[in-house]
Chain A
Amino acid sequence: MPDPQRASTISAAGLSRRFGNHLAVNDITLELKRGEVLGLLGPNGAGKTTTMQMLTGNLAPSSGSISICGIDLLDQPVAAKTHIGYLPEVPPLYRELTVDEYLTLAAKLHRMPRARRIADVTTAKQRCGLADTGRKLIGTLSKGYQQRVGIAQAIVHQPDVIILDEPTIGLDPNQIREIRALIRELGGSHSVILSTHILPEVEAVCDRVQILHHGNLVYGDTIAALKQMHSGSTVLVGLRRAPPLAELAAAPGVASAESVEPTLFRVQFSGDADACDALVRRAADANWGLYRLQPAQTSLEDVFVNLTRREDSQ
Chain B
Amino acid sequence: MIFIIAGKELKALFASPLAWVVLTGLQLIIAFAFLRRLDEFLQLQPQFIQMASPPGATELVAAPAFATAAATLLFAVPVLAMRLIAEERRNQTMVLLVSAPVSMTEIVLGKFLGLLAFLLVVVALVALMPLSLAFGTRLDYGLLAGFIAGLALLAAGFAAVSLFVSTLTDHPIVAALGAFAALLAMVMVGDAAGEGLKARGWGVAASLAQVLSPIKNFEPFGRGMFDTYAVACSLLLATVFLALAVRQLDARRLRG
**Interface status of B134 (Cβ within 8 A of chain A):** no
Partner of B103 from A78, A88, A93, A96 at Cβ < 8 Å? A78
Beyond A86-B95, A88-B92, A90-B92, is A111–B256 a contact (Cβ under 8 Å)? no
Interface size class of B (residues with CB under 8 A): 20 to 34
B256 lies within 8 A of A92 (CB):
no
B100 lies within 8 A of A110 (CB):
yes
A111 to B98, CA, bound (A): 14
Stretch at the interface among A51-59, A174-182, A242-250, A271-279: A51-59
B94 contact set on A, CB distance < 8 A: 92
**Interface status of B16 (Cβ within 8 A of chain A):** yes
User: Which partner residue on chain B sits nearest A76 by CB separation?
Assistant: B101
B256 contact set on A, CB distance < 8 A: 17, 19, 59
A109 lies within 8 A of B16 (CB):
no
User: Which partner residue on chain A sits nearest B102 by CB separation?
Assistant: A109
B98 lies within 8 A of A57 (CB):
yes
A92 to B11, CA, bound (A): 17
**Interface status of A290 (Cβ within 8 A of chain B):** no
**Interface status of A82 (Cβ within 8 A of chain B):** yes
**Interface status of B253 (Cβ within 8 A of chain A):** yes
Interchain nearest-CB distance for B254 vs A (Å) = 5
Partner of B97 from A56, A80, A109 at Cβ < 8 Å? A109
A58 lies within 8 A of B8 (CB):
no
**Interface status of A118 (Cβ within 8 A of chain B):** no
A111 contact set on B, CB distance < 8 A: 1, 101
Q: How many residues of A contact B (CB 8 A)?
A: 31
A105 lies within 8 A of B95 (CB):
no
Interchain nearest-CB distance for B237 vs A (Å) = 28
B101 lies within 8 A of A79 (CB):
yes
A78 to B1, CA, bound (A): 12
**Interface status of A33 (Cβ within 8 A of chain B):** no
Interface residues of B in 65-115 (CB under 8 A from A): 91-103
**Interface status of B12 (Cβ within 8 A of chain A):** yes
Interface residues of A in 9-23 (CB under 8 A from B): 17, 19
**Interface status of A108 (Cβ within 8 A of chain B):** yes
User: Which partner residue on chain A sits nearest B17 by CB separation?
Assistant: A96
**Interface status of B21 (Cβ within 8 A of chain A):** no
Q: Secondary structure at chain B's binding surface: helix, strand, loop or mixed?
A: helix
B12 contact set on A, CB distance < 8 A: 94, 96-97
User: Which partner residue on chain B sits nearest A91 by CB separation?
Assistant: B92
Partner of B92 from A56, A92, A106 at Cβ < 8 Å? A92
A58 lies within 8 A of B98 (CB):
yes
B103 lies within 8 A of A84 (CB):
no
A110 lies within 8 A of B101 (CB):
yes
**Interface status of A158 (Cβ within 8 A of chain B):** no
**Interface status of A184 (Cβ within 8 A of chain B):** no
**B1-25: contact bitstring with A at CB < 8 Å (1 yes, 0 no)?**
1001100100110011000000000
Partner of B102 from A78, A80, A101 at Cβ < 8 Å? A78
A92 contact set on B, CB distance < 8 A: 91-96
B93 lies within 8 A of A93 (CB):
yes
Beyond A78-B103, A96-B12, A110-B101, is A153–B253 a contact (Cβ under 8 Å)? no
A93 contact set on B, CB distance < 8 A: 93
A81 contact set on B, CB distance < 8 A: 99-102
User: Which partner residue on chain B sits nearest A61 by CB separation?
Assistant: B254
A94 lies within 8 A of B101 (CB):
no
B residues contacting A by CB (< 8 A) are: 1, 4-5, 8, 11-12, 15-16, 91-103, 253-254, 256
5 A-B pairs with least C-beta separation = A92-B96, A109-B100, A81-B101, A96-B15, A90-B92
A residues contacting B by CB (< 8 A) are: 17, 19, 56-60, 77-82, 84, 86, 88, 90, 92-97, 101, 105-106, 108-111, 153
- Beyond A58-B95, A90-B92, A94-B93, 9 additional pairs, beta carbon < 8 A: A17-B256, A19-B256, A81-B100, A88-B92, A92-B94, A94-B12, A96-B12, A97-B11, A153-B96
14 contacts between A and B (CB under 8 A): A56-B99, A57-B99, A57-B253, A58-B99, A58-B253, A60-B253, A77-B103, A78-B102, A79-B101, A81-B100, A92-B92, A92-B93, A93-B93, A110-B101
